[in-house]
Amino acid sequence: MIIKDRRAPRDKRHLRLRRWVRGTAARPRLAVFRSLNHIYAQLVDDESGRTLAAADSRSKDFRGAHPRGGNVAGAKAVGELLAQRAKAAGVAQVVFDRGGYKYHGRVKALADAARAGGLVF
């Protein structure tokens, strides 16, 4: 029986990106993870190993306004929510880490919404 590991190619791409993408206290890394039904984003300071702000489609803030998180509209809402939380944490500039995913669809929608919310990258 042949078993196809679907995550290995994404992990390779993500590790290749992480050689260059580093988050600092001044410019944290905006890390994106998407699953089939949800999307997650967080601001990470890689020097100290801390998460400064996070937003996902499973949180109560998100669920109150949106029934689903696995679509482009949900990704936009998560990007806006993350931008608000980043401003509250005093973060204006970030480094975008697409997590090995194509910059397309939900990942692009999240990034555009975060930019519209005031994050610079």
DSSP code of residue 74: H
pLDDT 10s digits, 28-83: 999 999 999 999 999 999 999 999 999 999 999 899 889 898 999 999 999 999 99
- The per-residue pLDDT of the chain, averaged, comes to 95
**2 pLDDT more than 80:** no
Task: Answer yes or no: is pLDDT of 9 > 80.
Answer: yes
In angstroms, what CA-CA distances link 113 with 7, 77, 94? Answer: 27, 7, 14
Pairing, β 29-34 against β 39-45: antiparallel
Q: Which residues contact 107 (CB under 8 A, 6 or more apart)?
A: 32, 34, 75, 98, 99, 101
Task: Give burial (CB, 10 Å; 0-12/13-18/19+) of 48.
Answer: exposed
How do residues 69-120 score in pLDDT, each as one tens digit?
899 999 999 999 999 999 999 999 999 999 999 999 999 999 999 999 999 9
Tokens 């100290």 appear where? 48
CATH number of the domain located at residue range(s) 8-116 in this protein: 3.30.420.100
Domain ranges of the chain: 8-116
> Quick one: pLDDT at residue 32?
98
The residues near 23 (Cβ < 8 Å, ≥ 6 apart) are 29, 43, 44, 45, 46, 47, 94, 95, 97
Q: What are phi and psi of 64, to 5 degrees?
A: -65, -35
pLDDT at 8: 92
